Amino acid sequence: MLEERFIPVLEGCLDGVAKEQAISREVKWQNVDSKHAEAFSGFMNAFFDELAGNYFRVRVLFLDRYLKSSRREGKRTEYFKLYYHFITRAFGWQYAPFTKGEKVYLRLFLDKLPDQGETKETFKQFLSKIPETERFQNVRLVIPPDGISEIDSRKHRIAQAIDVIIGALGFRMNDFHKAKSCGKMRGKRTRAKEKVYKVIQERLRDFGVKNIGINTGLYGNWQRLWTDPIRLWRLKPRDYSIDSRWTKK
């Protein structure tokens, strides 16, 4: 989340770093290997350096497969609701220092949506109703008619940095760092990904994110939902059962 005027600032900075690091491919977790580990680490360090400037926010929502929702919902419905919860709750809008009556224009830049046609339009209409929710009673939030866009991450360095963060967290949370080739040794790519993950882990600790498997702490200050540069949120279903298949050994 950042003010629109800062988008070219951050994009320009990250693109410049990518060129300095001689990165010719898209910066994404899938492309981390032994050849690009150092360059990707440099790119991510630059991203966190900019995050320290406190002009944008990062929020990561994840689901724990150990907590299985008891509600029977289709994947599409769940997909809609996850986006909805993320946008309305992850950033702590209710704690934002907006003045009474101030209009806040919100534009959403989404990664390419899996659905097309009518389903995609239904989803966009669903998101456009966010300003009508109870959480925004004290904020005159406006999502313009053209305020919901899909982007191609190959052309957006900010989206690429977020992809690497999410990929690194999933890599560690799912124990992929322990994967071995033919049951003997860890492959070069696995070791390279762990190297990049450790860089990200250290930078997260700089921002108070000590444990990646749980919600980032509030320490009694709910205002941090809005002010913290980066936070992790483990979404816990209201009604759930324990799925023992995903119990950590």
68 occurs within a structural domain: yes
244 occurs within a structural domain: no
242 occurs within a structural domain: no
Domain that holds residue 36: 4-236
Q: What angle (nearest 5°) sits at the alpha carbon of residue 215, between those of residues 244 and 204?
A: 115
175 occurs within a structural domain: yes
185 occurs within a structural domain: yes
State the Cα–Cα distance between residues 199 and 197, nearest whole angstrom.
5
Q: Give yes or no for a contact between 28 and 163, defined as CB atoms under 8 angstroms apart.
A: yes
The per-residue pLDDT for 56 is 97
Residue 38, CA distances (Å) to 5, 146, 199 in order? 31, 39, 10
248 occurs within a structural domain: no
Closest CA to 162 of 25, 16, 29: 29
Residue pLDDT, tens place only, 20-62: 999 988 999 999 999 999 999 999 999 999 999 999 999 999 9
231 occurs within a structural domain: yes
Output the six-digit token pair for 221. 């200050």
Q: Taking the complete model, does pTM exceed 0.95, yes or no? A: no
The per-residue pLDDT for 212 is 93
Question: Does pLDDT of 2 surpass 90?
Answer: yes
State the Cα–Cα distance between residues 43 and 161, nearest whole angstrom.
8
The tally of domains found in the chain comes to 1
151 occurs within a structural domain: yes
Residue pLDDT, tens place only, 71-100: 666 566 777 788 888 988 999 988 888 887
State the Cα–Cα distance between residues 106 and 88, nearest whole angstrom.
11
Output the six-digit token pair for 224. 């941090």
